[in-house]
Amino acid sequence: MPETPSAPQKNQTDEHKEKYYSFQIKGWTNFDPTDKALSKIAEGVDRGDGVLNLVEVLKVENDLAGIGDVDVRECFANILAAKRLVRTIAELPKSLREEIRMALKAEEESAPRKTAVSVVNLPGNGDATPRTKQWP
């Protein structure tokens, strides 16, 4: 009996073979973007309250392993794992699904905010003044 061809399934290593882009965006706004989420800044630019004058790709990696920044690589690995989990959640044991639900609920209730530093003036354009921004 002939076999029916099936679509090749992505395995974990294939997921890590995507291209990853390191980029930099420069622009101007007529509002202080320091305390705004990136989505709000983008909305402002779309409304005409800002202009992007440069989107520059600094580096391209052909797979996850090529990303030199350990924190960024780990973040992408976690995102890939979460996407796999979402796709296959029904296959997990009920007790593990419940444990995941409880962990997500606890995280929502007590999520600490991460602190990141943004630079107001880019080096070469005067003194770079770091400002702290809270990220949800």
pLDDT of residue 129: 46
pLDDT of residue 15: 56
Confidence of residue 91 (pLDDT cuts 50, 70, 90): very high
Regarding pTM above 0.85, the answer is no
Q: Identify the three-state secondary structure at position 86.
A: helix
Chain segment 19-53, per-residue pLDDT in tens: 999 999 999 999 999 999 999 999 999 999 999 99
Report d(CA 27, CA 29) in Å as an integer.
7
Is the CB of residue 73 less than 8 Å from the CB of residue 22? no
Is the CB of residue 38 less than 8 Å from the CB of residue 59? no
Which ranges of the chain does DSSP label H, i.e. alpha helix? 12-15, 38-47, 70-88, 94-110
Cα dihedral 67, 72, 75, 80 sign: negative
Mean pLDDT in residue range 8-20: 61
Beta carbons within 8 Å of 92's beta carbon, 6+ residues apart: 85, 100
Chain segment 42-89, per-residue pLDDT in tens: 999 999 999 999 999 999 999 999 999 999 999 999 999 999 999 999
